[in-house]
Structure 1
Amino acid sequence: MTPPTLTYVYAVTQPTSDLDAALPTLHGIGQELLRLLPSEAEGGPLAFVVADVPEADFNETALKNHFEDLEWLEYVARTHHGVVQAVATCAPVLPLRMATVYQDDHRASQALAAQHRVFSERLDQLRAHTEYGVKIYLTPSTTPDPDQATAGPTQPTSPGKAYLRARRAQHHTREAVYQQAQHAAQAIDAIAAHHTTQRVRHAPQRGALTATQENVLNDAYLVPDDQAAQFQAAIVDAARRFPDLRIEVTGPWAPYSFATPPPETPDPAAPSSHPGAPAADPQPP
């Protein structure tokens, strides 16, 4: 007997011939082949990009347990992201939340039909646009360790005074670098005003994602495709003016940060776990 499955939805798209050709080569979680669930309504054809997943792993109880399993989460997030990125190379795409699941294809189709207008309008706004990220990091050399920065005048000094002197020097250095980061952010804003249509300001990254560097800006920009090269070149050029910072441009990404959720309304076709609404997770690296 075949184990029961759920319908996992990766994204909303508008079908194209390129996507039809690529679909037989694309796989989702558990190497399941992807398929399209189409919907016809005012605003043009739409489709959910879906695949089957084991009900035992994606029912509500199982998901609560899996969300404590970092290895499982990383696998699902990377697979979800890979599917969205692959679809984005072939067709307009609106990413959905990781682990958006429905009881079956029929329930998923009902949800798509119920939100058809909202999805169509958002896809129209994102058409011929791509997401890029811009991050500013303080490099390790700009944040000296006061425990090691004890060098001072040639005359002997007490350990306590040397430590305080090092702390003052560190404070002044950090203040100067933070000011430089503010100027860099202003320069990026000026570039974005010419080459982008929307911005989302994410919280700075922390912990293992940044290693020894402090992330002080983590923005996402929606960039028209015909402006992408100019935008990237302008950011790279501006970065040269701020040698104490690392300014990084990432992308192109599917527009995770700009997939605004539709209004909260009661929906009889609600999924069994996560709401079938566009969202910005998983955030691109």
Structure 2
Amino acid sequence: MNTPALTYVYAVTQPTGDLAAALPALHGIGRAALRLLASAAPAGTSADGSGQLAFVAADVPERDFNETALKRHFEDLEWLEYVARAHHDVVQAVAAHAAVLPLRMATVYQDDHRARRALTAQHEAFARRLDQLRAQTEYGVKIYTKPATATATGRPPADEPAEDISPGKAYLRARKAQHHTREAVYEQAQHAARTIEAIAARHTTQRVRHAPQRGALTAGQENLLNDAYLVPDDQAEEFRAAITDAARQFPGLHIEVTGPWAPYSFATPPPEPAAAQSSPDGPPSGTQPP
């Protein structure tokens, strides 16, 4: 007896010969085979299919991806990590062979017919955004500093006898030293952020500011800046080199460039002024890369 399945879609892309050749070797969640679900050809699509869009899709078990199951799974960090990683791997693999618009993790449809219908309905919005992202790649820039540590011990200066300082005075001295150290690091981070913004103005087309990361993702460091940039492919090497060079000016910070990523942070266009905003029927938002 076959297990009931839903259609899981990973991304929007444009079918190419290169992608068609690579697809049989790629797999999705649960090692499921990937397939392209093409939209109905819109008016103006050329005979060779250019301008046509497709969902990158695969089957997933209905028992794990129906609405009730997803609510339960979203509280299971191990399951979430696996699905997020598998989703990311598919999007990155497709991006190596064709322009790609990542979709939100766990975007599912009842079947291929309904997925195609949704793709056709949003064809114009998807095509417009895909064109805006073409030949551009996402890079992340993060600024870290370690939290204040006990570098200031509260010990008296060398010329002050140790017995002349009380425990309370030592504690207050240590707290004051830590406060000054932390302020100096934050000032340096602000300077670094301004330097990065100046570099980005020369080499990037869009920026998304994500919330600083917390917990295990920071490996014991404090994340002060967590930005994503959309970088034209012909500017990528210069952008990375410029950030790496600038980082040497800030020895008290760890400045990290991540990527290249598929454009997760730019799957939806930047917000427009309130009076000019379009309907909410545009592409689903992407997810931030790991």
The total of aligned residue pairs comes to: 271
- Give the 3-state SS of the residue equivalent to 2:227 in structure 1: strand
The one-letter amino acid of 1:96's match is L
1:277 is aligned to: 283
SS in 1 for 2:207: strand
- Runs of 5+ consecutive residues of structure 1 not aligned to the other structure: 266-275
Does the 8 Å contact 1:97/1:277 carry over to 2? no
Q: CA deviation at 1:144?
A: 2.2
Gap runs ≥5 in structure 2: 46-50, 270-277
Shift in Å, 1:54: 0.4
Partner residue of 1:68 out of 57, 64, 75: 75
Residue in structure 1 matched with residue 154 of structure 2 by the alignment: 150
Q: Displacement of 1:211 after TM fit?
A: 2.1
Structure 1 counterpart of 2:22, one-letter code = A
Cα distance in structure 1, aligned partners of 2:144 and 2:253: 6
1:64 Cα offset (Å): 0.6
Whole-Å separation in 1 of the counterparts to 2:230 and 2:114? 32
1:261-276 correspondence runs (5 A): 263-265=279-281
CA RMSD between the two structures: 1.5
Q: 2:128 aligns with which of 109, 121, 125?
A: 121
Residue deviations 1:113-169, cap 9 Å, x none?
0000000000000000000000000135xx2237x7232224221111101001000
Taking the aligned partners of 1:14 and 1:145, their CA distance within structure 2 comes to 55
Partner amino acid, structure 2, of 1:139: K
Q: Which residue of 2 aligns with 1:106?
A: 113
Give the secondary structure class of the aligned counterpart of 1:30: helix
4+ runs of 1 displaced by more than 4 Å? Answer: none
Other-structure match for 1:41: 42
Tell me what 2:205 maps to.
197
Q: Could you tell me the percent identity over the aligned residues?
A: 75
Give 1:96 shift. 0.4
Residue correspondence of structure 1 range 164-183 to structure 2 within 5 A = 164-183=172-191
- For 2:242, the equivalent position in structure 1 comes to 234
User: In the TM superposition, what whole-angstrom CA distance separates every residue of 1:259-283 from its partner, at most 9, and x where no partner exists?
Assistant: 0178324xxxxxxxxxx933231x1
After TM superposition, the score normalised by the length of structure 2 is: 0.90
Q: How does 1:187-226 map to 2 (within 5 A)?
A: 187-226=195-234
What TM-score, normalized to structure 1?
0.92
Comparing both chains, which one has the higher relative contact order based on Cα–Cα distances under 8 Å and sequence gaps of 6 or more?
Answer: 1
Greater Cα offset, 25-34 or 152-161: 152-161
